[in-house]
Homo-oligomer: A and B are copies of this chain.
Amino acid sequence: MSPRSTPEERREHIARAVWAVMSERGLSAVSVRSVAAEAQVSVGSLQHIFPTRADLLIYSAELMIDRVVRRIAAEDRGGDPIDATLRLFAHLLPLTPESRVEMDVNVALIAESRALPRLEAIRDEAHRALAEACQRAVERVAPHLPPAVVERRAARLHALTDGIALHLLHAPPGGDQRWALDLLRQELEDLADGDGPAGRRP
C-alpha cells in the first residue's frame, strides 16, 4: 500500500483484496494470510485494521453492498422512464468484470451467512434496497397501476432481475449478454403497455 493513505483507503484496499481472492479462488481460499498477500500487506498490518477474520469479511461485504446501494441512489433518472430504469439495472447486473466480482462476493456472502449471521443482515439491506428500486421502477414506468398490483409486479421484477444476474454469472464472461437487458426491457415495456400478468386490457 502506498503511503499517505487515509485509514478508509487502506480498509478499502484490503476489502478489494478480499473480493479478488473470493472471485478468483473461491470462498474457502479467503484467509487472513491469503488476503494479506493479495493486498501486499503484512499479516500484522491487516490485523491492526481488521482484528479478526469476521471483521474482515463483514467489512468487505458491507463495502460492496454500500457501493451497489450508492449506485442505485446516484443513477440519473432523467429521460425516458424505461431507458432510465434499464440504465439503472444495467449496472446492477454482472455485465462487466467488476460487477461480476461483486456478484461473486454476493454469492459467497449467502454461502457463508450461516457461519457469520451478521452477513445475513448485510444481505438484507441489499435485498431491501433492490426491492425498493424495483418498486420505484414499476411506479415510474407504469404510474397507472393500483398499489397492490405495483407490489406484485415489483416482486416479479425483483425476482427476474436476480435470476438474470445469476444466469449471467453462470455464463462465461465473454459471451453474448444482450439477452439479459432485452429480457428486462421486455418486462418494462409490458408494464408500460399495461400488458402482461398484472393489468389486462379491457
Residues of A within 8 A of B (CB): 23-29, 104, 107-108, 110-116, 123-124, 127, 152, 155-156, 158-164, 166-167, 169-170, 179, 182-183, 186-187, 189-190, 195-197, 200-201
Contact = CB atoms under 8 A, between A and B. Distances in A.
> How many copies make up the complex?
2
Count chain B CB atoms within 10 A of each CB in A113, A116, A158, A166 and give the residue with the most.
A166
B158 A159 contact: no
A95 B155 CA distance: 17
Secondary structure type dominating chain A contacts? helix
Given A156-B186, A156-B187, A162-B167, 6 more contacts: A24-B114, A27-B112, A156-B160, A158-B163, A160-B160, A195-B196
- Listed residue (A159, A162, A196) with the most chain B CB atoms within 10 angstroms of its CB: A159
Contact of A163 (B23, B161, B186, B195): B161
A164 B169 contact: no
Nearest to A110: B107
A133 to B, nearest CB: 15
A123 B169 CA distance: 12
Specify which of A27, A28, A115 lies most central, judged by the most chain B CB atoms within 10 Å of its CB: A28
Given A26-B111, A196-B197, A201-B201, A158 B162 contact: no
A111 B156 contact: no
Contacts of A167: 127, 155, 158-159, 162
